[in-house]
Chain A
Amino acid sequence: MKYFVSIILISLFFSCATDVCNQRTAWPAQAGFYKISSLGKDSVVTADSLSLWGLNNDSLIYTNLNKKTIEFPLAIANSSSTFVFKIKSKYDTITVYHTNTPYLISKQCGYGYQQEIDSVVYTQHLFTKITWKVPQADKNDKENIQIYY
């Protein structure tokens, strides 16, 4: 019995720490595409042949995809992030100004950023209006920005 109890206690002692991280360091912002109908109501639309990338970044986030909603990562080293949208050979840019606040995710994950949108500016070659309702880009899976075109 003594040995049994000892083994359990020793096992407890060495099993307290687990080095598993399954969280992101920053959550991407989310946007949806909308169209204002003739009745004045918003309706979800699909952006055909959408390509999306960050300005001065060679890597594409989406390449020629049909999307109703998109996710795009806000930069963690800067307080603004500019994205280039290409839809049916037309280009627009959206610049998101945001606040980055570092925080400890966990001992296993290290630090990450909580990001909050402060303002959005955009070009209007294709887009007609942009609104944003949810400032926090986080794991709650809420749409931050509405893009009308």
Chain B
Amino acid sequence: MTKKTFRYIISALIVMMAFTNVNAQDTIPRKHFLRINLDLASPTYSYFFDKAHQRMGYEAMAEYSYNDTLFFVAEGGFHQLTDTLGTLYQTTSNGEFLRLGVNINLMKYYNKKDRDIFYVGARLSGAAYNMNYAHININQSYWGNTSLVVPPAKNYMGFWGELVVGMRIETVRNLFVGWDIRGAFKFYDTNQSTYKTLFIPGYGNPQNNVSLWMNYSIGYAF
């Protein structure tokens, strides 16, 4: 009997020590959560650019927290740009894009309910887009100007990688605002014709191998 009682006491002590230890180190695993963000910058482009650069679009971002540090990210949207350079050319590109990657959270949490994030991330990205030229004119002062016969609209694809830095702050319960700045590095554009693409949705001008991009977003965590 004494031996049995001793066993129970030892067992109880071990269980209590275990619970006490958990409370002391606060190692309750954090809940995974999904955060959906909408980009506020894309729909407002047309207000900031002049009529020569008519740009519009929308973009959404989904983040899933694997743990405190690692977030899986999927981003996608639609962009359109009509670019006009006086009488020299007018071109329109529009299409969808998708970015997949991860964010690494750099913040330490002292409150387990805290879900703010300051992060760096990386993406692999692609876009399927349609591009056409309305006209192309070339000026020459001595012999006179000429117009190129422009090709019909055609579908292309573009691929690039991105490095991202940004943050999201919970302003009211479950509601976040944030920004990110991203450097994109072009891998390949399937348009290798004479008539160049001047805008890949989600990337920017593919005539530049590096593109700078920025998002302001509002998000909701589930």
Asked if B6 is at the interface (CB within 8 A of a chain A CB), the reply is no
Is B146 in contact with A77, judged by CB distance below 8 angstroms?
Answer: yes
CB distance from A35 to the nearest CB of B (A): 28
For the A-B complex with A102-B136, A110-B136 known, give 19 more contacts whose Cβ atoms are closer than 8 Å.
A9-B214, A12-B212, A25-B139, A54-B142, A73-B142, A75-B140, A76-B140, A76-B143, A77-B146, A102-B194, A104-B196, A107-B85, A107-B205, A107-B207, A108-B85, A110-B85, A110-B89, A111-B138, A112-B138
CA distance A48 to B207 in the complex (A): 46
Q: Are A113 and B214 in contact (CB under 8 A)?
A: no
Q: Within the assembled complex, what's the spacing in Å between the Cα atoms of A81 and B144?
A: 13
Q: State the 9 A-B residue pairs at the shortest beta-carbon distance, nearest first.
A: A110-B88, A77-B146, A75-B143, A104-B196, A73-B142, A76-B140, A13-B214, A76-B146, A25-B138
For the complex, count residues of B whose C-beta is within 8 A of A.
Answer: 27
CA A101 to CA B195, docked complex, whole Å? 11
Given A26-B140, A73-B143; A103-B85 close (CB under 8 Å): no
B181 to chain A, nearest CB (A): 6
Q: Which positions 59-89 of chain A face chain B at CB distance < 8 Å? A: 59, 61, 73, 75-78, 81
Using C-beta atoms within 8 Å of the partner chain, give the interface range for chain A: 20 to 34
> With A104-B207, A107-B198 in contact, do A59 and B142 touch (Cβ < 8 Å)?
yes
Docked Cα-Cα span, A43 to B142, in Å, equals 31
Bound form: Cα–Cα A18–B148 in Å: 25
Interface centre among B48, B88, B89, by most chain A C-beta atoms within 10 angstroms, is B88
A140 within 8 Å of B (CB atoms): no
Q: What A residues does B53 contact at CB under 8 A?
A: 17
Interface residues of chain B, those whose CB is within 8 Å of chain A, are: 48, 53, 83, 85, 88-89, 136-144, 146, 148, 179, 181, 194-196, 198, 205, 207, 212, 214
Bound complex: CA of A111 vs CA of B205, how far in Å?
16
B200 to A: closest C-beta gap in Å: 13
A4 within 8 A of B: no
- In the complex, A61→B140 CA distance in Å? 14
Contact B142 A102 (CB under 8 A): no
CB distance from B25 to the nearest CB of A (A): 33
Q: Tell me whether A57 is interfacial, beta carbon within 8 Å.
A: yes
Which one of B146, B179, B194, B207 has the greatest number of beta carbons of chain A within 10 Å? B146
A100 to B85 alpha-carbon distance, docked (Å): 22
A14 within 8 A of B: yes
Whether B143 and A57, one on each chain, are in contact in the complex, defined by CB atoms closer than 8 angstroms, is yes
Please pick, from B48, B83, B89, the residue contacting A111 in the complex, using a CB distance under 8 A. Answer: B89
**What are 30 contact pairs spanning A and B, CB under 8 A?**
A9-B181, A9-B214, A14-B48, A25-B138, A25-B140, A54-B142, A54-B143, A57-B142, A59-B142, A73-B140, A73-B142, A75-B140, A76-B140, A76-B143, A77-B146, A102-B136, A104-B194, A104-B196, A104-B207, A107-B83, A107-B198, A107-B205, A107-B207, A108-B85, A110-B89, A110-B138, A111-B136, A111-B138, A112-B138, A113-B138
How far is A99 from B141 in the complex, measured between Cα atoms in Å? Answer: 19
B88 touches A61 (CB 8 A): no
Cross-chain contact of A106 among B181, B207, B212 (Cβ < 8 A)? B207
Q: Are A111 and B142 in contact (CB under 8 A)?
A: no
Q: Mark A100-133, 1 if CB is under 8 A from B, else 0.
A: 0111101111111100000000000000000000
User: Which of A12, A57, A102, A106 sits near B138, CB closer than 8 Å?
Assistant: A102
Complex Cα–Cα for A9 and B215 (A): 11
